[in-house]
Amino acid sequence: MNDFKKAVSTEGGSEGKDARLSSVPETESINYKGIACDALIEPIPRFISAPSETIINGANNSWIVLGRDRPRSRISGYGGMGDTQCGSIDIVTGRMGSRAREFLDDQRVWVDNDVTTDAARIYISQKTDIDENYNLVDGTVGNSKAKSGIALKADAIRIVAREGIKLVTRTDKFNSQGGEVASSSGIDLIANNEDEDLQPLVKGGNLIDALKRLTTHVSKLNGIVDSLLMYQINLNEALIHHTHYGPMNIISAGPGFVWETTPSMPVVSAGIKTMTDHLSQTKRSLMVQKANLGLYQISYLSPAGCKYINSRYNNVT
């Protein structure tokens, strides 16, 4: 965890307020130090509001602004261009983030919306360029232009449900601007705002079917190799007992006598060793490999397996 700012800092605050607070008896000043959520004196910048905005703000740099689309200054967004039907609700806390201050060089600090430095925000707009406003890559979903949008931004965001969470796309035939929803947009999960290597999610059920079929083919290959091994053993056995027949005598009247030669001892020795190796090594290895295939299916492709490749709770279409 990186902490760059002190837990308690009055830097950039009003010197007058600090002076008055220091002159207050400690028994009273304790009530202005924020302990147990009491009143707290801290530097808070002033917000540059627009005439069309209704503002609700707290004492500790928290704001709700009801207005028109305005991601930054008063001339930004569709509100800045004078468009209709671009109402917005901006909920923000911590304007200027860690650099929040009320005065700078004895001048009061006034700020616009800043989606980069403001600490946390929920932004809702009837019409906005949500991706461009927050400098988001296109992904496969694309870049939303002049459409309703909601953005959540903070150092950390957690969405917690006591029951289920659904991320659903394309529920209606028309978008908020009356345009027909022609494309089928999915859901992009993008880390580090980089989409160069964005790839499709795997459908677990289809993956299991594919891997089961693959293991079936490998199992059949195991059987083919096993049959080949037995054929080779039969050939080796015949080769071990193989002898040659040679001519004993040849006369012009016809064939003469023949005699049987002795077995080749190098061939007999090599054949016996090969048969032994086939039975003790190759045959055994094939049996172990076939058993491993079964364990593999149970471990990875069965819901009861300890390394089941599918999530038991989360699904994707």
Q: Which of 202, 216, 214 is nearest to 310 (CA)?
A: 202
The model's confidence at residue 2, banded by pLDDT at 50, 70 and 90, is: low
Q: For 221-270, what is each residue's pLDDT tens digit? A: 888 788 877 877 777 777 777 666 555 544 444 455 555 566 777 777 77
Please list the alpha-helical segments (H only) found in 147-256. Answer: 204-240
Residue 69 has pLDDT above 90, yes or no: yes
Residue 29 has a pLDDT of: 58
Report the C-alpha dihedral over residues 5, 6, 12, 15, rounded to 10 degrees.
180
Q: Do 138 and 193 contact (CB within 8 A), yes or no?
A: no
Q: Is pLDDT at 305 greater than 70 in this prediction?
A: yes
pLDDT class of 1 with cuts at 50, 70, 90? very low
Q: How wide is the angle at C-alpha 94 spanned by C-alphas 93 and 96, nearest 5°?
A: 135
Give this prediction's pTM.
Answer: 0.72
Mean pLDDT across the stretch 73-101? 95
Tell me which of 32 and 276 has the higher pLDDT.
276
Of 108, 113, 102, 15, nearest to 60 by C-alpha is 102
- The CA distance from 224 to 218, in Å, is 10
Between 219 and 15, the more confident residue is 219
Residue 152 is inside which H or E element, if any? strand 147-153
What is the C-alpha to C-alpha distance for residues 238 and 232, in angstroms, rounded to an integer? 10
Average pLDDT, the chain: 82
CA-based diameter of the chain, in Å?
A: 143
In 162-203, alpha helices (H):
none
